Every structure is written in structure tokens, then in C-alpha cells.
Amino acid sequence: MAASSTEPKDLSTAILIRVDQSGHGDFRKIQDAIDAVPSNNSDLYYIWVKPGTYREKIVVPADKPYITLSGTEASTTIITRSEAGEIYDTPTLSVLASDFVGRYLTIQNAYEGNGKAVALRVSGDRAAIYSCRILSHQDTLLDDAGRHYYKNCYIEGSVDFICGNAASLFERCHMHSLAERTGWVTAQHRASPTENTGYTFLGCKITGIGATLLGRPWGAYSRVVFALTYLSSVIQPEGWNDWGDPSNQRTAFFGEYKCYGPGADRSKRVTWSHSLSKEEAAPFLSKGLIGGGAWLRISPIHFRKRPAPATTVEADS
């Protein structure tokens, strides 16, 4: 079912749904709260998740836009499960709807072995994720499709732990590599020069425990830029990898602009990566990259109760 194209008339007011495992909210489970949002809704819905550990596999379906899913602190509001397998089957939380906002949550896939184990999949357009902790090992964040904004998030993994073909801006995020030998922060999936997709990391930080590269091209035209970002010593001197296919060197666009820290030395970088000038970097350094000025919204300041579910009255026989 297609998502609603009707924008809420009042972006300052949302319908509040409370999730509380103790039974003092509207629902005990997050998925039950999402299921209570009507299809093709034209109201903002704010699902407030009280502190706790929620062991659920959650989907925000494509026909339920304008949902905010918010905890109070990421450290105390935890959504977790453990599953590995095909990349689209494993996410702990899958966001298929447009105009989604996530705030103050830990989203975790706790699988410990080798294999694809996604914590968060974002496939809807116009999604914003604030102050969340996104945790796994391989393919932690499947930043799949659409325009997305991540701010003040902590993202942890080892292999391709930010991957997909969205157009996304990561601002003041902290990426932490768990790779003990060789890991990759990004695997961006842009497949042709006509696709307006790619990842920009602005004012971010990368730390870790072992050897890590900034990225490799999942798609031949992969596009990733790190700007004004602290790169710790875990970033290896070559910086980037062509995923074993030298032809990717001609088509992928991997750039750095005014990064700093012990891993930012470009003297031994692969020659096909780019040290960007101010003019070259400019298009990647604002929310204009994702058209964010047109859709990023402030949090609602007024709340109202969820309408009572409609009841069916049987006619007298």
C-alpha cells in the first residue's frame, strides 16, 4: 500500500501513544503501538517508549508515515534481538515509512558470530535519527533508500557497518569499529552516475579497536565523503579499498576534506581517492545535500490522546 501523501496540517501537535512494559502505558510492546496507528494517517503520531529492554522485531510499514519513536535516554531504552541471515530479513527495527523520526533509543542486533546482522534498516524517504545508539557487527545500519539525516548518533560495528544506497548526512556522529583485523566503516551502494545518493559525514568521529578502512564500493559508483571528521589511528594509511575490483577505482568517489587526527594523514592514501578543496567539498557540507530544509521538522510541543478505536454495532435482528 502506498504511503499517504497528505502532510499533517499541524506539525506542532501529535497524537501521543505511550509504551510501558509495566502496564502503565497504552501498550506494553512497541509493535503494538505502531499497529495502532491507522493506515495512511495524516496526523503526527508520537510513540513515547518508557525505559526498559524491549526484545522485539519491529517494522514501521510503508503506509504509516509521520511516526516519531522516542525514548528518554538511549542508554535506558533498548530495542534488541539476535538474528543473522539475509540482509533484509535480519533488522531489529525496519523503517519502511516516510517522514519517520527516531530519538533517544538503543537499537541492537546482538548476534555475535560472523554474518549479516542488521540492527536498523531505513528504507523510507525523509527519515531523521537523533541521539540513537545503533549496535551490531556486520551491516549494523542498512541505510537503504531515501533521504536521511543522522545527528549525534553512536554507530558500532566491524564489517560494512553503514551500508546501502540512501542519500544521507551524518552530523556529529561517532562511529566505533569493533574489527580486530580489517574492518570497513561504509559500503555505499550507488550503482550509476545518475543516482543522487551517497553518504556525507560532517564533524564526526571514528574510533575503534583494530585496523579499519573508511569504506569500499558496494556499488561501482559508491560515493562517500568525510569532512571535518576526527580519524583515530585505527584508520589504515591507505584509507579506502576497491573491493577487489580495480575498475571501481575509476567510478567510485571517495573524498576527504579537512579531517584531522592520526588517521587523517593522506600521504599514503590510495591515489584514486580525493582530497577535496573548499569548493569541491561545499555541496556536501549542508543539509541541502538531502533537501533537509524542506522536510526536517521540530519536535511537536502539543499532544493529544489517541482517538478511541471504532466499534462495530450489530443491527438488531
231 domain-assigned: yes
Catalytic position from the list 99, 143, 144, 160:
160
> What tens digit of pLDDT does each residue of 162-186 get?
999 999 999 999 999 999 889 999 9
198 domain-assigned: yes
284 domain-assigned: yes
> What tens digit of pLDDT does each residue of 106-150 get?
999 999 988 999 999 999 999 999 999 999 999 999 999 999 999
Q: For residue 169, what are the CA distances in angstroms to 263, 283, 285, 291?
A: 21, 12, 9, 10
Mean pLDDT of 269-278: 98
234 domain-assigned: yes
Q: CA 75, CA 259: separation in Å to the nearest integer?
A: 29
Catalytic position from the list 139, 143, 144, 242:
139
Identify the residue whose cell numbers are 573508511. Answer: 214
Q: What is the pLDDT of residue 231?
A: 98
258 domain-assigned: yes
In the residue annotation, 26 being an active-site residue is answered as: no
137 domain-assigned: no
- What is the DSSP track for 40-97? T--SEEEEEE-SEEE---EEE-TT--SEEEE-S-TTTEEEEE---SSTTT--SEEE-S
Q: For residue 1, with 0-12 CB atoms within 10 Å meaning exposed, 13-18 middle and 19 or more buried, which class applies?
A: exposed
In the residue annotation, 99 being an active-site residue is answered as: no
Q: What is the pLDDT of residue 7?
A: 80
Segments forming the whole domain that contains residue 243: 158-291
CATH number at residue 243: 2.160.20.10
107, 76 contact by CB (below 8 A): no
Count: domains in the chain: 1
